[in-house]
Structure 1
Amino acid sequence: MHRMSLCVVGKVLSNKKVNREAFMRVIRRIWQVDDGLDIESVTANMFTFHFRDEDDMSRVISGSPWSFDDALIALERPSGKGTVESLGFNWADFWVQIHQVPLLCMSNDIRWFLGGMIGDVMNVDGGAAGDCVGKFMRVRVSIDIKKSLKRWLRVDVLGDGSETVMVLRYERLPNHCFKCGMVNHVTNECANKEPLPVVNGVEKPPFGLWLRAAGTFRKTHHRQRTETFFHSAQPRNN
């Protein structure tokens, strides 16, 4: 039980078989685990990571998403009597930037609601002053990677029927499918055979590199969650 409590299982979400030796070498270098890390290969793209220190494990998990060869490494903590084969690898944690947010919404409260429209909110960045006054909001959310990435949020800010569209950018986003927006395969592996939309005579994929946020960002601290009341538009395709 103690060994399991310090174990994380990871899967490289790629249809290509990864080079196991190269993967282990790269992971050890980028994670820089102080007190030791044992890596075991389970299958072609699945690995178990056995930590010796809980702080090292927590730091690695909180530093996700990680990638190898620009493919997402989905991490999962095993528990109970489940087997490695039963793990779904269906969730990944991202810092997401919310752009084009009205000044009315730049508050400590509303960021939790907006983050909840993207996924399960784990943390928020309110900036040095505690409020989200700036170019964008940042929220850390756990995202269901069985679904397409959300590209924007449509919100009825004042409840008057007028929608505001807020654009999303994902920090450290690896390769993803430009057709369907999934992060578990790339465009040329997509099973969706529907033709791409054509704009001005040119095919234009619904998703793309523009979903990636640029630059590096400060380390943030967790703040107390507060409730807010807000009107959301009817669900639409994102």
Structure 2
Amino acid sequence: MASLNLLDEEEEAFHEEAAVVDTSFQLCLVGGCLTDSVVHFPSLRNTLADLWHSIWGICISNLGEKRILFQFFHKVDISRVLAGTQWFFNNHLLVLHRIQPGEIPSLVPLNLIEFWVQVHDLPSRMVTEHMTKQFGDFISQFLEYDMAFRPPNYQNYMRIRVRLDVTASLK
């Protein structure tokens, strides 16, 4: 305590603290189950923590209004969850959104989800990069394609990643 000094330097420390608050959602997802029924939060928290098995851990918090905050502590963990397939809890689709700087987790719309779509039995002339983009935009919003993944004997096949508005299909 003898070396404690209360001078003008305190104000700088306060500004550094504010910068930490701005980036506190850097490795966070906000999500919710696509259902009208009640989701048992403790079960969801335990199940997803076990399923995702984060290297550096995960903090799962209930935000209320059927929203959950997932805080990761390493970029590898959040990338692995986002790159995975669709996630479900009790047969309900889990809609996830990566929080961007300035976004408020309780206000982020949870209506978009990414899917891999497979298109089969195409004429070989239609299996092109240009056609994947057209198919993707026809389905919803094209994101990417994977022409490298082709099972043997499936030359007339394509995989397209699209972003769908899942709430539009509920109306």
Shorter-chain TM-score range? 0.7 to 0.9
Contact 2:35 2:92 (C-alpha < 8 Å) held by counterparts? yes
Runs of 4+ in 1 over 4 A off after TM superposition: none
Q: Which residue of 1 aligns with 2:51?
A: 30
AA aligned to 1:62 is A
Q: 1:137-152 maps to which residues of 2 (within 5 A)?
A: 137-148=158-169
Deviation, structure 1 residue 87: 1.4
Question: More helix per residue: 1 or 2?
Answer: 2
The Cα offsets for residues 72-99 of structure 1, whole Å up to 9 and x where unpaired, read as: 1111123344433321111000001123
> What residue number does 1:98 align with?
119
CA distance in 1, matches of 2:37, 2:116: 27
Q: Does 2:140 correspond to 1:119?
A: yes
- Match for residue 223 of structure 1? none
**Quick check: 2:26–2:101 contact (8 Å CA) kept in 1?**
no
- Quick one: which of 99, 116, 121 aligns to 1:78? 99
User: Which one of the candidate residues 69, 77, 91 is aligned to 1:48?
Assistant: 69
Structure 1 CA distance, aligned partners of 2:24 and 2:103? 14
* CA-CA distance at 1:128 after TM superposition: 5.0
Is the 1:3–1:50 Cα contact (8 Å) retained in structure 2?
Answer: no
Larger radius of gyration: 2
Question: TM-score, normalization: structure 2?
Answer: 0.76
SS in 2 for 1:117: helix
Distance 1:128 1:79, change over 3 A: closer
Q: Percent identity of the aligned residues? A: 25
Q: Root-mean-square deviation (CA), in Å?
A: 2.2
Look up the match of 1:65. Answer: 86
**Cα distance, 1:113–1:104 mapped onto 2, change above 3 Å:** same
Q: Which residue of 2 aligns with 1:234?
A: none
Paired letter, 1:31: W
Deviations 1:89-142 (A, max 9, x none): 11000001123322220223321221121222222111357xxx5353211111
Structure 1 residue ranges without an equivalent (≥5): 149-181, 183-190, 192-238
2:23, 2:101 within 8 Å by CA — same for their partners in 1? no
Instruction: Count matched residues.
Output: 148
SS at match of 1:4: coil
Once the two structures are superposed, residues 119-173 of structure 1 have per-residue CA deviations (whole angstroms, 9 ceiling, x without a partner) of: 22222111357xxx5353211111112323xxxxxxxxxxxxxxxxxxxxxxxxx
| Higher-RCO chain (CA-CA 8 Å, sequence separation at least 6) | 2
8 Å Cα contact 1:93-1:141 kept in structure 2: yes
- Unpaired runs of 5+ residues, structure 2, are 1-21
TM-score scaled by structure 1?
0.56
**Distance in 2 (alpha carbons) for counterparts of 1:50 and 1:114:** 35
CA contact (8 A) 2:25 2:101 kept: no
